[in-house]
Chain A
Amino acid sequence: MAAGHAHPLYRAGDSVVHRLPAHVKIVVAFLFVLAVVATPREAFAVFGLQFLLLVGVWVAARIPPGWLATRALIEAPFVVLAVLLPFFATGPRVEWMGMSLAVDGLLAGWNILVKGTLGVLVSVTLAATTPLRDLVSGLSRLRVPSMVCVIATLMLRYLEVIAAEARRMRLARVSRGHDPRFVWQLGATVRSVGALFLRSYERGERVHLAMLSRGYTGAMPAFTTASASTATWSLALVPAVVAALLAVSGYWVA
């Protein structure tokens, strides 16, 4: 990865959480989210405790809550489905402010809202504490096929180039008075997409030739990754295990 390429959700730091090997963080994040998803929807208090666990991780990672909140808000389209559910679901209904809402739908909406929100917060926490390069090498450590890791690396390396190319094309269109408002005014945008594909593909051909001329034989050098000690694993797994225990206790309570 080219030096200095950071993704928009990364927040540089040197906390315990930042220093954890990436593959450990990826596993913990997946387990945590699965524990949240497995929690029964009626166990309202459990979600609060799982949120507190996350707050603990943020304190350890020294991420201010305001910084997190603004980034978590961006990803809110799933809220639409959660809001629709009480209106469209069947079953017993309650009257609220003149609207007839289904109880089951309210619970289902709450289920998506709370789990979706906690899920986004976990994802943002992972992204905030893990630089790009470590993320891909962490994936390779988790036995993701090397082909997938290499494609991901190259994709991330050229993403900025392609995105900048797309921005320049848009700027060129806009500066010539292009202001599409309706679907039938798409012509210029779409021709740009076609041109962007050609430029990306032909860049791929050039990159391949450049790799060949530097001795590429079809295999890439292996990723070097730090392994994690048992102590590191057991410390990092604490939030995930506690979240899973909370999920189990939710079945007991509910």
Chain B
Amino acid sequence: MDPSTDLVAMHMSDGIVNAPTSVIFGVVAVLGLAVCVAKARRDLDDRTAPMAGLVAAFVFAVQMLNFPILPGVSGHLLGGALCAILVGPYVGALCVSIVLLLQALLFADGGLSALGTNITNMALIGTFVGYGVAVAMRKLAVRSRGGLIATAFVAAWVNTVVASLGFVLEYAIGGQGLALGTVFGLMTGFHALIGIGEGIITALTVGAVAAVRPDLVYLTRTAAPSLEIKGARA
């Protein structure tokens, strides 16, 4: 991949929050994941395993893809809102969580003790808030492709900023060193900028998918019409 600096370093390391906080958010992550597993099965039935597996591989591959922000500074996609809009919040959160789990275990990306906080912020808060925003704007999204693109941008931006608020919450409970106002200012300011990049990529990706296979966009998908059998004479 590109040797340029990676600006988006949202994966928390060990030691940012204390041990009790790590354990609490570990429990939150496990409970959230249990709900996602049950609901994802309802969304995809026996297709869950292959579809979610391939979408997770896509998220993993996209996170390896750097995009330019300024010369020498690049970022990568987090993909929470993108997944939520394309495959639904439960499958999306499940995929992002599995990506985070394997990144921590195989690539030392994000601390083991911070796995709970990372899953809570990026997979649970990020995906569900992004999806909530997208649902609130659904009327606009179904009207036209432009509307869908605008919805995806807003959802991804809000997702990034709110996920960083998850960090602020965890820091407030178990971090030390900085006044909460400073953390809040730094994190939201920083992520409001990152969110623009995330928003543009998410919006254009959703747009590109909707142009070719609009039936795949979970947000605007309507229930498949039931099969209608017509006789020769009605």
Contact = CB atoms under 8 A, between A and B. Distances in A.
A151 B98 contact: yes
B231 interface: no
Contact of B69 (A157, A183, A211): A183
A89 B171 CA distance: 14
B104 interface: yes
Given A163-B61, A194-B208, 17 more contacts: A30-B113, A37-B14, A85-B177, A109-B177, A111-B15, A115-B15, A116-B14, A118-B14, A151-B56, A155-B56, A162-B58, A170-B65, A186-B67, A195-B208, A201-B216, A207-B50, A218-B45
B14 A218 contact: no
Given A116-B15, A162-B60, A190-B208, A107 B106 contact: no
Interface of B: 6, 9, 11-16, 18-19, 22-23, 33-34, 37, 40-41, 45-58, 60-62, 64-65, 67-71, 77, 86, 94-95, 98-99, 101-102, 104-109, 111-114, 175-179, 182, 186, 196-197, 200-201, 204-209, 211-213, 216
A226 to B, nearest CB: 19
Contacts of B101: 152
Contacts of A8: 107
A183 B200 contact: yes
Interface in A188-240: 189-191, 193-198, 200-201, 203-205, 207-208, 211, 216-218, 220
Given A38-B18, A81-B16, A119-B13, A151 B107 contact: no
A150 B46 CA distance: 12
